[in-house]
Every structure is written in structure tokens, then in C-alpha cells.
Amino acid sequence: MSDLSQIVKAYDVRGTVPDQWDERTAEALGAAFTQVLDAYDEPGDAVLVAHDMRATGPGLAAAFAAGVRAEGRSVIELGLASTDMLYYASGSLGLPGAMFTASHNPAQYNGIKMCRSGARPIGQDSGLAEIRDRAQALLDKGEARPAGGPAAPAERRDLLADYAAYLRELVDLSGIRPLKVVVDAGNGMGGYTVPTVLGDAALPALPLEIVPLYFELDGTFPNHEANPLDPANLVDLQRAVVEHGAEIGLAFDGDADRCFVVDERGEPVSPSAITALVAARELAKHPGSTVIHNLITSTAVPEIIREHGGEPVVARVGHSFIKAEMARTNAIFGGEHSAHYYFRDFWFADTGMLAAMHTLAALGEQSLPLSVLAGEYERYVASGEINSTVADQAAKVAEVRAAYPQAEADELDGLTLRFPDGAWFNLRASNTEPLLRLNVEAPTRERMTALRDEVLDRVRR
């Protein structure tokens, strides 16, 4: 019997198949999802269901759809999709949806990202806990779904071309200088969406030469994990950018909702720099607007937002927190250190493809190489995220806090300590594993390295 507390996380469902969950579990979750939509008087009589390229996706999605239909709502099956395609469908059609993906996790995993109409997020505090409990009750009674009348209907719809056309309306790439772009899809959904968004013959031609890496959809990830946050998974892209003499490289994660950028030298561009770059572009169109950033992005991000006339607002790490804060403040844009980028013009949802298009536009609208352009937005030295296995996370965080009594403390998300010289670090517990995650930034590499090593020694001793 499935223990849903093991697979229902803070923002989504995620676990190994069939060990932790299977199609019977998916059907119960579909029924529970629909019950919660009804309880919240969610408008519309249909639910969108999509899946990525993982082998277990079609079966799990079909079982979930059966649970939805048994509860009286019809289903619109989108088939293969990136996560931001599902958000596009939810926003443009005004319907709730479920995306079957485990994002960057290994092949044996799968999961569900659920949203209300308008791509509004569903997390632990906004319905996901209730979905978990209702589905668990069905499974405990030996039912995947309650017995009822005839199932509601289902239909199949392909929205890839509509999604591509919508993104083209938001960022015009037709007038940029010619660019050679290496794209590493990691055998994930970028291999499905990039050819249509950036090269569809039915849309106006763009001055882009796309060099594809690993565009074949393969949920076993035969070349490397579809997790560009790990530097080891950028090596092929970095090499290809230099070998092909490309101006830029793009790497998407498995469900293509995140995008990482590599410059013409093969050097990674930090997500904080991309956040600042896109924020500046959006603020040029919407002066005085609010921009959200999570607390682990570089200090340069709020500095640059203010310099461009915007209002920076800090939020906790995680898409449900970012999206809620964006909706509350009507923010024009939001960015995270993990390369999630959120847009008001995209129903406050995250889309790696739109961030990539903004970066291509910024590069192609002037003559500077990307290394120089990105350098304008990188002012400090960051460690990147470093994980440590810790049994008692709370006790260790308290110990580290006590070691720096003079530092300015912030506990919005874990522990953030700031020092008078501009250095800071954040130490926060993982939501799902016995890990502490450390991020350090300082004005110089020497100061960052010293502070990083000092804090890591305290965490790991």
C-alpha cells in the first residue's frame, strides 16, 4: 500500500515507480485532486493532463485521468509536454492541470506538478496536503477511486504550436543579429519544444543557427542527467560551444522549465546574472514594477533592480512561495538561484524557454559577447549550493548561528547571516532529505572561500 507522506513533497508529488507509487496511486490522486477542486469551487469542468518523456508517464497520466473522470470532470489530454507548456495551457484555457514529471530526478522517478486554473500553484498549504489525505483514505479503503456513474469524457489536444506562437509574441527575436546557439536538451522535453519555438517553419524564420545536443526524447537519460544545476552535466555543452564557435549555450532540465546559460568561452553564467538581466529588460517595458527574487540570489540582483527603477522583494526558495508573492505584489518578473524564472505575462508561472528567449534577445540586440554582457550583472563571488548530510539539522543550524553573534541574522528561509563587508551565507534544511544546503557569497573570491570553508567545517565536524 502506498504511503503518500513519502512522495507528497512541499510543492509536488515525487517518488520512484513502482516502488513508492504506481498507476493505482495515480488514479487515487486524480480522484482526490478533483474532489479538492470541487471543494474549492474551482471553475471549469475539465482538467488538463500532460506528461514528459519518462517511460512511466503515459500510464500514470492515463490512470490519473481515469480518477478525474470518475469524479465527473472531463479530461483534456495534452500528451507530451514541457511543464511550462502545461502552465501555458492552464493559463490560456483557464483550467486546472496536472503535469507528470520528475524534472531532473533519475529515470526511476516520476511525479506530478498540479495547478489550479490560470497556472495557480498547488502546494502543501494550498491544497496538496488535502489531496494527499483524500487519496490516502481511498487507498486505505482499497479503492483507487469511489464507485460512481459513467466516466466523464476525454479529448486529445495538441497545443505545442499555440505555446510557441505565444512565446514569440512576448519576445521578438526577428531583428537580432545572427547567433549560433548550442542547446543541450539532456534527452528531455527541450528536445521537443525548442525546434518548434525557435525553428518552426510555420512561424517567421529567426536568425538562429541551432546546434542540437541530445534532442532525442529518452527518459533513461543515456548521456547525462537532465540536471544542469550539477556542473558535471554542463561539460558536454561547454565543450560544444567552444568547438562550434557558438555565441551562447543553453541547457534545459528534464521537463524544460529551467534553463541554464553558458557563454561563448564555455563558462557558466550564474542564474543570478540572468535574473538581473531579464529584470532589467522587463523593467524597461514596465517602469517601477516589482521584481521578486529568492533570498539565495546574489546581492547584485536587488541592487540592479533598484538601479533600473524597480522594487525588489525577497521571497522564500520554492515556486509556490515565489508565485504567491508575485501574485500578491503583481510583480512583473521573478528569479531564483536554481534557474527558475517567473513572468507576469506567463500567468506568474515559471518558463525556462521564455528566459532563454530574453537572453538571446539581450545578446542579439547588441554586439558584445555574452561574457562581457553577463559580466555587467555579476558583481560578487558565489559558492554555489553545497550539501552536507546532517542528522539533527535544527541543532546544527543553532550551533552555526551561535558562532557568529555579531552577524545580522534573517530567518525567512533557514538561517541567513550577513556581515559588514558584504559577505553572507544561507544555511537551510532540505524539505525531503537529511541535508543542510549552504550558499555563500562575498565581494572577493578569497573572502568567499574562507567563509565557505569555515562554515562547512562547523556543519560537518
Q: Give the mean model confidence (pLDDT) for residues 344-360.
A: 98
Q: Are residues 359 and 385 in the same domain?
A: no
pLDDT at 357: 98
Helix H or strand E segment including 271: helix 271-285
**What CATH number is attached to the domain comprising 65?**
3.40.120.10
- Which comes out higher in pLDDT, residue 357 or 384? 357
Of 157, 175, 194, the domain-final residue:
157
320 and 363 both lie in a single domain: yes
Residues 12 and 39 in one domain: yes
Cβ–Cβ under 8 Å, residues 36 and 8: no
Helix (H, G, I), strand (E, B) or coil at 35: helix
User: At 146, is the pLDDT very low, low, confident or very high (cuts 50, 70, 90)?
Assistant: low
Residues 31 and 60 reside in one and the same domain: yes
- Rounded mean pLDDT of 441-452? 98
25-29, 165-169, 196-200, 315-319: which has the minimum mean pLDDT? 315-319
Residue range of the domain that includes 83 = 4-157
* DSSP per residue, 171-189: S--TTSPPEEEEEE-TTST
Q: Specify the CATH number for the domain of residue 403.
A: 3.30.310.50
Predicted local confidence at residue 151, as pLDDT: 86
pLDDT, tens digit (0-9, with 9 covering 90-100), for 35-79: 999 998 888 899 999 999 999 999 999 999 999 999 999 999 999
Q: Which of 127, 157, 187 is the last residue of a domain?
A: 157
314 plus 447 within the same structural domain: no
Q: Structurally, how many domains does the chain consist of?
A: 4
pLDDT tens per residue across span 240-251? 999 999 999 999
Q: What is the pLDDT of residues 385-415, one digit of tens each?
A: 999 999 899 999 999 999 999 999 999 999 9
What percent of the chain stands above pLDDT 70?
A: 98
pLDDT at 326 over 90: yes
Residues 161-210 have pLDDT tens digits of: 999 999 999 999 999 999 999 999 999 999 999 999 999 767 889 999 99
Residue range 413-436, pLDDT digits in tens? 999 999 999 999 999 998 767 899
Catalytic residues: 103
Using 50, 70 and 90 to split pLDDT, how confident is the model at 345? very high
pLDDT tens readout for residues 90-100 = 999 999 999 99
Name the domain boundary from 131, 157, 183. Answer: 157
150 and 87 inside one domain: yes
Q: Are residues 372 and 385 in the same domain?
A: no
Q: How many CA atoms lie within 13 A of 90 on its CB side?
A: 31
Q: Are residues 292 and 363 in the same domain?
A: yes
Same domain, 344 and 259: no
pLDDT digits (tens, 9 = 90+) for 103-137: 999 999 999 999 999 999 998 888 999 999 999 99
The pLDDT, as a whole number, for residue 203 is 83
344-356 burial: b if 16+ Cβ within 10 Å, else e: bbbbbbbbbbbbb
Q: Are residues 126 and 26 in the same domain?
A: yes
State whether 128 and 27 are in the same domain. Answer: yes
- Backbone Cα Rg of the chain: 22
Ordered DSSP codes for 88-99: HHHHHHT--EEE
pLDDT exceeds cutoff 80 at 149? no
Residues 101 and 166 in one domain: no
> What confidence category does residue 320 fall into, taking pLDDT thresholds of 50, 70 and 90?
confident
Predicted structure pTM score? 0.94
Cis peptide bond prior to 18, omega within 30° of 0: yes
Position 147 scores a pLDDT of: 61
When pLDDT is averaged across residues 285-293 and rounded to a whole number, the result is: 98
Amino acid code (one letter) for 333? F
